[in-house]
Amino acid sequence: MRIAVTGSTGLIGTALVRSLRADGHEVVRLVRRPARADDEAEWDPLRQYVDTGRLHGCEAVVHLAGAAIGGRRWTEAYKKEIRDSRILGTAAIAEAVASLAEPPRVLVCGSAIGFYGDTGGRAVDESAPPGDGFLPSLCLAWEEAAAAAEEAGVRTVYARTGLVVSRAGGAWGRLFPVFRAGLGGRLGSGQQYWSFISLHDEVAALRHLIDTESLEGPVNLTAPEPVTNREVTAAMGRVLRRPTPFPVPAVALRVALGDLSEDVLSSQRVRPAHLLESGFTFAFPTIDEAIRAA
């Protein structure tokens, strides 16, 4: 199968491309510069440009590109960068897909469980409405930006990803060194739910979305049972065999991270109903297994 991927140098994109190629699939990587290799195609989200010639023959497009949510303090300028990178990028890809004489059979768009906002201790699945605040409004607009592909009859799936457990990047990429040094601890009260997924299962789930014709619309990519930050802290201590004595007060996080602290301190108890209903099997369903896998 010929598959186009944006965000191919990111944490998830790198692992997905590696997995697809290992199984003999042809991958076209969309890059934000002139193409330099046969497996590359140029695109520019801000200019709404995509080299559609390189998309011909693709049966699937996986769109994962976007500025890092946790990469920097959330200034107003950086919030705009986060929004523009996702909304403009998704619109460009969706319109490019819709313009093809023979469009791909599926467009898998990255999204996030930030869609649901702070759910407290309440468990939610794909049937829940969007929450309130910056991340829910971002995710809603992000998904709506793919309308052109849906209207063209392309099966469109929104992969609402949780916290990816990997030592190579993301939230856990920053946690592992701290906990290995014996300096880890709960964040804030520790009662907030973290909906996680191992990197292995994230990639397997994305491939499942490509292959499963019955899946469309929002699909949560999280492990079956979310855990609290306190439980994450205990699991990190068990797996890494390190003490976890240093809790970080909520007020300190707000001072250090600004608006980003709300993402760290909010509680999201999200379950992957559609993924489980479609027969997907997790290789690392528990937090201890996911941490060991990383």
- pLDDT tens, position by position, 110-166: 999 999 999 999 999 999 999 999 999 999 999 999 999 999 999 999 999 999 999
pLDDT over 90, % of the chain: 80
- The CA distance from 190 to 6, in Å, is 35
Confirm if 64 and 5 have CB atoms less than 8 A apart: yes
- pLDDT tens, position by position, 151-206: 999 999 999 999 999 999 888 888 888 889 888 888 888 999 999 999 999 999 99
In this prediction the pTM is 0.94
Q: Is pLDDT at 247 greater than 90 in this prediction?
A: no
Q: Which domain holds residue 156?
A: 2-293
* 44: helix, strand or coil: strand
The stretch 52-63 carries a mean pLDDT of: 96
Q: What is the CATH number of the domain that holds 172?
A: 3.40.50.720
pLDDT of residue 170: 82
pLDDT band at 246 (very low <50, low <70, confident <90, very high): confident
Biggest CA pair distance of the chain: 60
Confirm if 58 and 35 have CB atoms less than 8 A apart: no
Number of domains making up the chain: 1
Q: Is pLDDT at 72 greater than 90 in this prediction?
A: no
